[in-house]
């Protein structure tokens, strides 16, 4: 498949997508490849903001993002809940989606 000058393929053996362009090769998950492909419908300023966020997250643009004490505490709480198997029920998730019109 070709999109915006990039050839993308899905490798079922490894569960990854590959994108190739002259002088560029990358391997990513199918979900990330789909998300990036969907951004071509967004306005240029939104695309640039998403690109900056990804670069910041990976440390390619400025410093790697460091969690605040509050964010770290929230993450530790969430990981503890996950370790204990404390997940939202299907009904709770459906209610949240309805409340936020998702």
- Is there a domain that residue 34 lies in? yes
- Is there a domain that residue 76 lies in? yes
- Is there a domain that residue 92 lies in? yes
Number of domains in the chain: 2
Measured over the CA atoms of residue 14, residue 79, residue 49 and residue 53, the dihedral's sign is: negative
With a cut of 50, say whether residue 51 has pLDDT above it.
yes
Mean pLDDT of 35-61: 85
Rounded Cα distance between 71 and 78, Å, is 10
On whether the CB atoms of residues 32 and 17 are closer than 8 A, the answer is: yes
Mean pLDDT of 67-88: 93
Domain residues for 15?
2-42
- Is there a domain that residue 13 lies in? yes
3-state helix vs strand vs coil in the chain, percent to 5: 50, 20, 30
Task: With cut-offs at 50, 70 and 90, classify the pLDDT of residue 66.
Answer: confident
- Is there a domain that residue 62 lies in? no
- Is there a domain that residue 60 lies in? no
- Is there a domain that residue 77 lies in? yes
Note the Cα 73 to chain centre separation in Å.
Answer: 22
Residue 24 has a pLDDT of 43
DSSP string, 76-99: HHHHHHHHTT----HHHHHHHHHH
- Is there a domain that residue 95 lies in? yes
Mean pLDDT of 28-55: 87
Residue 61 has a pLDDT of 65
């Amino acid at each position: 498949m070709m999109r915006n000058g990039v050839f993308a393929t899905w490798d079922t053996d490894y569960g990854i997508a590959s994108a190739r362009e002259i002088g560029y090769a990358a391997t990513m998950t199918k979900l990330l490849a789909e998300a990036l492909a969907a951004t071509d419908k967004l306005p240029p300023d939104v695309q640039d903001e998403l690109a900056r966020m990804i670069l910041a997250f990976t440390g390619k643009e400025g410093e790697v993002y460091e969690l605040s004490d509050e964010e770290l505490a929230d993450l530790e709480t969430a990981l503890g809940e996950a370790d204990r198997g404390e997940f939202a029920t299907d009904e709770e998730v459906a209610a949240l989606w309805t409340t936020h019109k998702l």
